[in-house]
Amino acid sequence: MLRLDPDTGKQKWYGSDGAKSVLSAIISILIGMAVGTLIIVFVGLTKEGISLKGMWEGIRLVFLGVFSTGRDGGELTFGFNPVNMGNMLFRATPLIMTGLSVAVAFKTGLFNIGAPGQYLMGTMGTLTVGLTLGNSGCPVFVAWIAAFLAGVILGGLWGAIPGIFKAFLNINEVITCIMTNWIAANLVTWWFDAHDIFKNSAEGGKVGYIIPLKNVDVVTPKMGMDVLFPGSQANGGFWIACIIAIGMYVMMTKTTFGYELTACGSNRHAAKYAGINDKKNIILSMVIAGALSAAGASLYYLAGNTEFFWSTYLSLPAEGFNGIPVALLAANNPIAVVFSGVFMSMLNIAGTQLKSLTAYNEYIADIIIAIIVYLSAFSMFIKQLLNKRDKKKGGNK
């Protein structure tokens, strides 16, 4: 039952579906932060050398680490820290893109757990084209666009693989995504291992590192970030990610194509009965998801000051998996993905501050993130509880 305002007869804002999604996400975050606080206290009580003051400092840094300015006379100080703030936005950029990737697939009823592989393919495409064109004397602006598009296209094509298997053979996309993740990991490792021209062997005998794009000047412009956050890694990639998020919101909510994708996600067979080409939309959804995830890698490495270490035999990029909780916390809303991505990045900065300013290590923040990730899966359950509460109130009236 809708909660109506007695004066206007319209639905109350806090009774809307969007408000409940936001509230359920906030509840998940608060529970995660509360549990994190208890962990800090527990570790402080069981580890020698951490006093009550140290525990209080740890708690403050978890909540306000991004505003930490260091110590003054032994006391923690807080204020506007342009380096922390800029680095937070820089690290949030790939999370926003992988979050959008997962969110778009969710809207079409698909679970894109293949974001890590798509992210790696975007990395390979961007670094290969960027370094090749950068060394050839190609104009920087042209090389940047070509490198970005190469990553996006390669990621989109990689995302199409599980989409095709799902559309034509009805093979669960989770299975094919996991397989393509590890194929991508080994493919990218082989590619860079077989081409010495891309290896960064000139700096201190590094092994397995690829030349950063700053060496060939193919980097994303700062777009004012150097003025707002001097000394940080922030660049225009964050603004590009925000523009893409807005574009995804418009596409999903204001266009016929977006409606068809959502209809296929709600009920594939009903959408087909209504004349919507379900196979085409499933494939296109995964192509878009793959392109978005790869765009996150492209923007990250086009920052120029980041290096790719291709030890992918051992692990997949965390940014791909972290896109899942980012999308869940945002209830698959592209605009909300921006804020949830920034929040996850803020916790990452808090972990760095914990390590550098207290006796705690950064894994405390990782535990908090893990708890929030776990609870984000229950955000829909919390939303259902809120709906049941409103129905009971409505039934009692």
CATH of the domain at 92: 1.10.3470
**Mean pLDDT value of segment 156-166:** 96
What's the sign of the alpha-carbon dihedral 220, 226, 229, 233?
A: positive
Tell me, what DSSP letter sits at residue 346?
A: H
Tell me the per-residue pLDDT of 114-135, one tens digit each, with 9 for 90 and over: 999 999 999 999 999 999 999 9
Residue 313 falls inside a structural domain = yes
Task: Give the pLDDT band of residue 180 (cuts 50, 70, 90).
Answer: very high
Residue 154 falls inside a structural domain = yes
pLDDT at 59 over 60: yes
> Could you tell me the residue range of the domain that residue 296 belongs to?
88-341
> Which has more confidence, 170 or 20?
170
Task: Give the pLDDT band of residue 1 (cuts 50, 70, 90).
Answer: very low
Domain count, the chain: 1
Report in angstroms the alpha-carbon separations of 183 from 121, 177, 179, 190, 296: 10, 10, 6, 10, 19
DSSP three-state, residue 318? helix
Report in angstroms the alpha-carbon separations of 337 from 70, 78, 96, 330, 334: 30, 27, 6, 5, 5
Report how far residue 314's alpha carbon sits from residue 196's, in angstroms, rounded to the nearest whole number: 21
What's the sign of the alpha-carbon dihedral 23, 24, 29, 30?
A: positive
> Which has more confidence, 48 or 180?
180
Residue 10 falls inside a structural domain = no
Residue 140 falls inside a structural domain = yes
Structure tokens at 59: 């708690």
Task: Give the pLDDT band of residue 252 (cuts 50, 70, 90).
Answer: very high
Residue 114 falls inside a structural domain = yes
pLDDT for res 330: 87
Across the chain, what does the average pLDDT equal?
86
pLDDT at 359 over 50: yes
Residue 1 falls inside a structural domain = no
pLDDT at 233 over 60: yes
Residue 373 falls inside a structural domain = no
CB atoms within 10 A of CB 270: 12
Residue 103 falls inside a structural domain = yes
Lowest mean pLDDT segment, chosen from 142-146, 181-185, 197-201: 197-201
> Which has more confidence, 387 or 213?
213
